[in-house]
Structure 1
């Protein structure tokens, strides 16, 4: 009986994500309180990258930057394969989910990768964290410029903002660089206390989910979503995620990446950034359709976090060299 209970022990991260999602949807949170939660989430994300910076040896980070093959593969998955899939889904599902949601799905496919969640899940899955930090950060910074260009090419829109680059630099890169300066003094202690990293990154992910859903709820992003439309949209977005997960995992195998680098391609190449997507949507789209366009981005963000949490836990425990990520979700 004890073994059975231990086997079905709730996963802290996945349970926390689901709980944060539900609370963000049903619990009224005033705008000023929501702003406080958003600030706390930003601090939590900064702490994650400070901890990573203190834990990772600088030589590992340099090696991650020098891995051109892996970095190129992540960028290709994010800005070539994903947009092509998004265009295909736009044409195939537009009549099913509606023009506004299909437009949001296409827009979603053009966004940069997440940074904090990608790196967090690579760490949990025991992948190459140094390469993940480099890949996700490069993807996000380039996305401030590439996403508006892709939107112009794919969606015939020409008004976008690149102001989010300051957020990436200040909230993510700066704490990491500070951590790197501290690494020679505290690195051994940090590497000996891995639970500190686990607690920090898991808590940050849960805070990010809660603050994002609360903001979307307060902005009225859910008002255009019916139950039936929500279910169909979730199925379509889940299918999109399953395809890109399968492509990145087996693409890593075809390219001959070792297991820890395949995990980087899987996690960094399949994510899309809510933090970048929502502000940019407000600049790119007519205010009348921003809410509907943002809904696929919001829903996909939650699905990718929940699926990635399951995959990361499985990969982190898995001893076999070739787990199948598309069967874990």
Structure 2
């Protein structure tokens, strides 16, 4: 019953899902602008942080793929699921957790690595997913 309704409303629900994520990202980056987080960091620090986050994402994607295929001997499809789920760190869940873990801190600076990681992850995983879908055909 619910599955049928979701199937019929898939287009509207996907807009709601994407829209809510977009709003969370907008709020986080807006808070960063208000807190002047972009002027507190030098361009070198921002580039270094981005490089570290790219390396971290690459490492996690590689490790989860290897663990899925080699250590756990999962099928290719299940290994791909493990790879995406293992690397998925969401700004939507990280933002509320950071306010609880670091109360009173300048939240924009605390979540800056997550804000950047989330964007890098969305771009890279979209490219990887497209590549997997082309290889499946």
Q: What TM-score, normalized by structure 1, do the two folds share?
A: 0.35
Give the whole-Å Cα distance in 1 for the aligned partners of 2:130 and 2:16: 14
Question: Structure 1's 201 and 316: CA in aligned 2 closer, same or farther, altered over 3 A?
Answer: farther
Q: Within 5 Å, give how 1:77-96 maps onto structure 2.
A: none
Q: Which has the higher helix share?
A: 2
User: Runs of 5+ in structure 1 lacking a partner?
Assistant: 1-180, 321-329
Q: 1:305 aligns with which of 116, 122, 128?
A: 122
Aligned to 1:270: 87
Question: Structure 1's 305 and 198: CA in aligned 2 closer, same or farther, altered over 3 A?
Answer: farther
Question: Structure 1's 228 and 274: CA in aligned 2 closer, same or farther, altered over 3 A?
Answer: same
1:249 paired with 2:40, answer: no
Give the whole-Å Cα distance in 2 for the aligned partners of 1:291 and 1:262: 34
Count matched residues: 134
Q: 1:260 aligns with which of 77, 82, 97?
A: 77
Q: Which has the larger radius of gyration?
A: 1
Give the whole-Å Cα distance in 2 for the aligned partners of 1:290 and 1:237: 19
Aligned to 1:183: 3
Contact 1:241/1:270 (CA < 8 Å) preserved in 2? yes
Question: Structure 1's 230 and 251: CA in aligned 2 closer, same or farther, altered over 3 A?
Answer: same
Question: Structure 1's 290 and 208: CA in aligned 2 closer, same or farther, altered over 3 A?
Answer: closer
Q: 1:233 aligns with which of 46, 49, 53?
A: 49
Q: CA deviation at 1:215?
A: 3.7
Q: Is the partner of 2:40 in helix, strand or coil?
A: coil
Q: Within 5 Å, give how 1:54-69 maps onto structure 2.
A: none
Q: CA deviation at 1:203?
A: 4.2
Aligned to 1:108: none
User: Runs of 5+ in structure 2 lacking a partner?
Assistant: none
Q: CA deviation at 1:218?
A: 3.3
More relative contact order, 1 or 2 (CA 8 Å, 6+ apart):
1
Aligned to 1:292: 109
Q: CA deviation at 1:287?
A: 3.0
Contact 1:216/1:222 (CA < 8 Å) preserved in 2? yes
Question: Structure 1's 203 and 285: CA in aligned 2 closer, same or farther, altered over 3 A?
Answer: closer
Q: Within 5 Å, give how 1:147-166 maps onto structure 2.
A: none
Aligned to 1:318: 135
Q: Within 5 Å, give how 1:133-148 maps onto structure 2.
A: none
